[in-house]
């Protein structure tokens, strides 16, 4: 099984996404060509800080993440109830 490398980032204030069902699609390219993600899995974890032990939200290819195969896309979808459970603030995430 292949996995996508972790990318740590700090999220801005998530207020616009609370109680909504946001979807984000990212396309991975190498020299303008899509990276084929066929056979890969992905996981997303959102935490209060990069070193926090507990997650605020966790998604995976079996729940909330869809990989676009040869198109090189990753679509992330959280439900309104998932985002509604997140309090206002800044968070770290790994994808």
Residue 3 has pLDDT above 60, yes or no: no
Residue 92 has a CB neighbour count (10 Å cut-off) of 17
Under 8 Å between Cβ of 11 and 91: yes
Question: Which residue from 30, 56, 42 is spatially nearest to 95, judged by alpha carbons?
Answer: 42
Q: Strand ranges (DSSP E) for 1-95?
A: 2-3, 9-11, 23-27, 29-30, 33-34, 40-41, 43-47, 57-60, 65-67, 73-77, 91-94
- 38 vs 35: CA distance, rounded Å: 9
pLDDT digits (tens, 9 = 90+) for 19-66: 556 677 888 888 889 999 999 999 999 999 999 999 999 999 999 999
Q: How confident is the model at residue 20, as a pLDDT?
A: 58
């Amino acid at each position: 099984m292949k996995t996508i490398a972790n990318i740590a980032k700090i999220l801005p204030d998530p207020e616009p996404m609370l109680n909504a069902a946001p979807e984000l699609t990212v396309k991975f390219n190498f020299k303008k060509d899509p990276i084929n993600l066929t056979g890969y899995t992905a996981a997303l974890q959102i935490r209060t800080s990069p070193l926090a032990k507990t997650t605020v939200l966790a998604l995976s290819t079996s729940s909330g993440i869809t990989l676009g195969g040869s198109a090189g896309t990753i679509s992330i979808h959280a439900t309104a109830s998932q985002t509604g459970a997140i309090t206002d603030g800044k968070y770290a995430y790994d994808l």
